[in-house]
Structure 1
Amino acid sequence: MQTNAMAPVRIWDPGVRLFHWSLVTAFVTAWLTGEDSRIVHEWAGYVVAALVVFRLVWGLVGPRYARFGQFIRSPRVIARYLSDMLKRREPRYLGHNPAGGAMIVVLLAMLAGTALTGWMYTTEAYWGVEWVEETHEFLANLLLLLVGLHIAGVLVASWVHHENLIRAMWTGKKRGPDADDVA
């Protein structure tokens, strides 16, 4: 079914958008205060953990484009999508494309691991345990790389499909589907 491609459609619900920008704020706060302000760093980490839990629940009960079943794809589908990207013939998705869906899963797992090891380090049982601190720092640094890849993917997809995905994450709206788009 082809609709007017110029008419915007609501894709990202307020829960997804609030989660996303709150997570950006909490992660940046945690990163910037890691060495200087233990209390702010820990509270930012707790906020990250709570947001990850919210997103896991929202991925099961939220609206269509928030649900994991809408954007988690098999490794074969992800590989085919990445191959199509390299050939510059990937389809436009109204929701997350297969690469974006995979990135969400990886980011959520790394955020959960970072929050868990950070919390562990505050307990008597794990205070001063070297592997906990090293794992926490490794995951936090890996997250910086992943966030960079995520931003690069958003910018590339915005350019290729001629739409501002950053604005879409603020407004919740994307351009309506064309005949070849994946809804």
Structure 2
Amino acid sequence: MRTVSSTIGAGAMPPATIKVWDPFVRIFHWSLASLFVLAYATGDEIERVHVAAGYTIAGLLAIRIVWGFVGPRHARFSSFVRPPREVLAHLRDVALLRAPRYIGHNPAGGAMIVALLVALAGMCATGYMMTTDAYWGSKAVEHVHEFLANLTVGLVVAHVVGVLIASFEHRENLVASMISGRKRAVN
């Protein structure tokens, strides 16, 4: 489905856009980002808020995993999870400024999604474990939880850098597309 909005200036037409990110993916993305910042910022200081944010993140992750199998095309894992060889080839092409443009996630973006989902799921699992009798006060579980939280911060930084590089390389605002759900239809 392509749409073209009204003309701009002296008869120039804006580029056609297509719907890429469905409302759930966009709401999930920005909710997850906000909740992670909230959980990370509150930590041990405001435990109720931290735990509530953690449980909400766990719920969002569960729904996103299901959506990765039943959601629309660009939300499905099958559309963006690529073998490591393709991810490495894509990263090489990015470094050489010759990476192809993807309408959905590129191979590196797909790998980042998987890494973030795994790190966040591990963080939720260890956070929950710390509330159980079996692991209450376990320094080992707490250290793993904190390690995963800090790893996730690093992954988020890498994700943002990747988005900025792809936005620059392909001359499109990927942040805006995650808000509107739309991307330029043609290269």
User: Is structure 2 residue 65 aligned with structure 1 residue 56?
Assistant: yes
CA RMSD of aligned residues (A): 1.4
* 1:95 Cα deviation from its structure 2 partner: 0.2
Provide the C-alpha distance between the structure 2 equivalents of 1:8 and 1:171, rounded to a whole number of angstroms.
11
Structure 1 gaps, min length 5: 179-183
SS of the residue corresponding to residue 18 of structure 2 reads: strand
State which structure, 1 or 2, has the greater radius of gyration over its C-alpha atoms.
2
- CA distance in 2 between counterparts of 1:165 and 1:121 reads 37
Give CA-to-partner distance per residue, 1:129-152, whole Å, 9 cap, x none. Answer: 111000000000111111000001
Paired with 1:129 and 1:26, the residues of 2 have a C-alpha distance of 25
The whole-number CA distance in structure 1 between the counterparts of 2:83 and 2:30 is 27
Question: Is 1:155 aligned with 2:150?
Answer: no
Pairing 1:92–2:101 present = yes
Could you tell me how far 1:35 is from its partner in structure 2? 2.4
Q: Report which stretch shifted further, 133-142 or 77-86.
A: 77-86
Corresponding position of 1:104: 113
What SS class does the counterpart of residue 167 from structure 1 fall into? helix
1:163 deviation in Å?
A: 0.5
- Give the TM-score taking structure 1 as reference length: 0.93
1:181 aligns with none
- State percent identity of aligned pairs: 54
Q: 1:174 aligns with which of 175, 178, 183?
A: 183
For 1:133 and 1:75, the matched residues in 2 are separated by 31
Deviation at 1:177, TM superposition (A): 2.5
Gaps of 5+ in 2: 5-13
Amino acid at match of 1:28: V
Structure 1 residues 52-111: Cα deviation after superposition (integer angstroms, max 9, x where no partner): 111100000000000000000011111111111111111000000000000000000000
> How many positions carry a matched residue from both structures?
176
**Counterparts of 1:177 and 1:65, CA distance in 2:** 17
Aligned residue in 2 for 1:25: 34
Whole-Å separation in 1 of the counterparts to 2:78 and 2:26: 18
Runs of 4+ deviating beyond 4 Å: none
For 1:159 and 1:30, how far apart are their aligned partners in 2? Answer: 31
CA distance in 1, matches of 2:173, 2:75: 19
Q: Which residue of structure 2 lines up, in the alignment, with residue 78 of structure 1?
A: 87
